[in-house]
């Protein structure tokens, strides 16, 4: 019972915290360099792992599907299937999981350590609201970076599938692209994938900054908050993915 | 220090937008067909089979447009299919035949046009009078079995 009340009150705190962040975002456009700095540490530093992961996911998808599709003599559809799986599902979801592991955990640890070393209280002493100065730029940066990372993941994945499918396994290059352009719809498939990644960016950034801000300010508390960020945001991404897919592709 | 951060963030956003652009133009149907610069023609079918909105409209196997809308006319008990055809393919005689074909045995269905011999041409919002419905595999099998049992 106590655990239930605890988690409900955490949810409430998280929601109030979110409304404070959102209220602080309009001011950020006056000091946009704060956001640019955070896009660097949240987005640019996640770029490398996203590129590598996207390339290998695309390559292994092409390899696996090729062996299955040869039994039906339908290897021409390889590009289309890889493209659909990437832009609809794997791009947004895997990029969000990588983002939670690479950027979300770092955000929580950074904010948690700021709290543990009383830097946040220090800011408050100087009449600077830490939510506006520290939290909001990080949240907005995550929100901006996530769709870009997901798009990069999908694009690199398709190129990886092309290199394996066409260059290595001998699928026809024209069939690869023409099947993609005939069957993948921009609004139904690509746009819905982008909407998914926007939602995931929102969720992961929210969980990461909240866990950091709400952690127990000890070294153990920061460690536990970091773990919680990765676990909770991964689960939230997967659950939201199911809900969004159910809404989008009825 | 801040300058190099700005450059790398700019690069990151640039790569991200380039990826979005590639997904839009190269990896989806956005670059291949636009509904502007097209005219609409309708046709009535007794049965459209598995035809869907955005199915292809083809002449001699060349894609010239796509299905824009499918509706059912409850007065004549027929399906009404509206298709968008690109403007550069505007030279179709009035008595063109529209049929619903299947690409391959189990493939997607599309509308195939066969030009007739009339001097007058199809215009925007005009209707194709000669149509041929989709081949429904179950009906064919049913007819085949029925005629077999009659033979005995």
Residue B123 pLDDT: 84
Residue B1 pLDDT: 66
Buried b (16+ CB within 10 A) or exposed e, B40-53: bbbbbbeebeebee
* Backbone conformation region of residue A205, classed left if phi is above 0, alpha if psi is from -120 to 50, else beta: alpha
Report chain A residues whose CB lies below 8 A from the CB of B9.
36, 39-40, 43-44
Report chain A residues whose CB lies below 8 A from the CB of B17.
148
Q: How far is A110 from chain B (nearest CA, A)?
A: 19
Helix (H, G, I), strand (E, B) or coil at B113: strand
The answer to whether the CB of B11 falls within 8 A of the CB of B94 is no
Cβ <8 Å between A184 and B15: no
Answer yes or no: is pLDDT of B33 > 60. no
Closest CA to A208 of A46, A51, A30: A46
Hey, is the C-beta of A191 within 8 angstroms of any chain B C-beta? Answer: no
Nearest chain A residue to B12 by CA: give it.
Answer: A44
B16: nearest CB among A40, A152, A182: A152
Cβ <8 Å between B13 and A87: no
> What gap in Å lies between CA A237 and CA A244, rounded to an integer?
10
Residue B117 pLDDT: 86
Confidence of residue B109 (pLDDT cuts 50, 70, 90): confident
Cβ <8 Å between A44 and B6: no
Residue B31 pLDDT: 61
Per-block average pLDDT, block size 10, for chain A (250 residues)? 90 93 90 91 92 96 92 86 93 96 95 93 92 93 94 95 92 85 85 94 95 93 95 96 90
* Range scoring the smallest mean pLDDT among B82-86, B106-110, B119-123: B106-110
Give the ipTM: 0.82
Cβ <8 Å between B12 and A43: yes
Confidence of residue B24 (pLDDT cuts 50, 70, 90): confident
Cβ <8 Å between A155 and B19: yes
pLDDT > 70 fraction of chain B, expressed in percent and rounded? 91
Closest CA to A180 of A89, A65, A79, A91: A79
Answer yes or no: is pLDDT of B7 > 80. yes
Residue window 1-60, chain A: list those with CB within 8 Å of chain B. Answer: 33, 36-37, 39-40, 43-44, 47
Using a 10 angstrom Cβ sphere, with 0-12 exposed, 13-18 middle and 19 or more buried, the burial of residue B28 is: buried
A186: nearest CB among B13, B17, B24: B24
And the tokens for A201? 């960016």
> What gap in Å lies between CA A12 and CA A191, rounded to an integer?
32
Best A74, A87, A148, A187 residue to mutate vs chain B (most B CBs within 10 Å): A148
Hey, is the C-beta of A195 within 8 angstroms of any chain B C-beta? Answer: no
Q: Where are the alpha helices (DSSP H) in A100-191?
A: 105-116, 119-125, 130, 136-162, 173-183
**pLDDT, tens digit, for every residue of B43-66?**
999 888 888 887 888 898 888 888
Cβ <8 Å between A155 and B2: no
Contacts of residue A56, Cβ cutoff 8 Å, sequence gap at least 6: A160
The answer to whether the CB of B58 falls within 8 A of the CB of B112 is yes
> What gap in Å lies between CA B8 and CA B5, rounded to an integer?
5
Q: What is the DSSP code (8-state) at residue B99?
A: E
Residue B6 pLDDT: 87
Strand partners, B39: B85
Best B19, B31, B54 residue to mutate vs chain A (most A CBs within 10 Å): B19
Nearest chain A residue to B7 by CA: give it.
Answer: A40
And the tokens for A135? 């939290």
Q: How far is B61 from chain A (nearest CA, A)?
A: 14
> What gap in Å lies between CA B18 and CA A246, rounded to an integer?
29
Q: What is the DSSP code (8-state) at residue A218?
A: S
């Amino acid at each position: 019972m106590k655990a239930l009340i605890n988690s409900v009150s955490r949810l409430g705190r998280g929601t109030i915290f979110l409304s404070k962040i959102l209220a602080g975002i309009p001011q950020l456009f006056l000091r946009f360099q704060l956001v640019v700095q955070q896009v660097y540490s949240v987005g640019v530093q996640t770029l490398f792992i996203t590129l590598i992961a996207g390339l290998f996911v695309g390559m292994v998808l092409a390899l696996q599907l090729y062996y299955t599709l040869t039994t039906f003599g339908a290897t021409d559809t390889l590009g289309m299937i890889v493209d659909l799986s990437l832009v609809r599902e794997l791009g947004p979801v895997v990029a969000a999981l990588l983002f939670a592991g690479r950027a979300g955990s770092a955000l929580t640890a950074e904010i948690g350590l700021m709290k543990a070393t009383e830097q946040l209280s220090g800011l408050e002493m100087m009449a600077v609201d830490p939510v506006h100065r520290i939290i909001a730029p990080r949240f907005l940066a995550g929100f901006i970076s996530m769709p870009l990372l997901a798009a990069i993941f999908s694009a690199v994945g398709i190129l990886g599938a092309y290199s394996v499918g066409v260059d290595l396994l001998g699928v026809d290059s024209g069939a690869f692209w023409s099947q993609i352009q005939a069957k993948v719809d921009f609004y139904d498939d690509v746009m819905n994938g982008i909407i998914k990644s926007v939602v995931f960016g929102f969720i992961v950034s929210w969980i990461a900054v909240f866990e950091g801000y709400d952690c127990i300010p000890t070294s153990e508390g920061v460690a536990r908050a970091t773990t919680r960020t990765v676990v909770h945001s991964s689960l939230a991404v997967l659950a939201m993915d199911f809900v969004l897919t159910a809404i989008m592709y009825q | 220090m801040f300058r190099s951060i700005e450059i790398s963030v700019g690069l990151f956003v640039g790569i991200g937008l380039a990826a979005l652009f590639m997904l839009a133009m190269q990896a989806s149907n956005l670059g291949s067909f636009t509904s502007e610069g097209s005219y609409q023609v309708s046709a009535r079918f007794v049965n459209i089979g598995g035809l869907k909105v955005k199915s292809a409209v083809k002449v001699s196997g060349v894609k010239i447009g796509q299905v824009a809308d499918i509706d059912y006319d409850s007065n004549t008990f027929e399906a009404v299919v509206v298709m968008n055809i690109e403007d550069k393919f505007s030279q179709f005689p009035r008595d063109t035949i529209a049929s619903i074909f299947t690409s391959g045995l189990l493939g997607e269905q599309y509308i195939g046009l066969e030009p007739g011999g009339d001097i007058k041409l199809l215009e925007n919002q005009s209707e194709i009078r000669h149509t041929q419905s989709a081949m429904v595999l179950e009906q064919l099998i049913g007819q085949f079995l029925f005629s077999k049992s009659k033979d005995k």
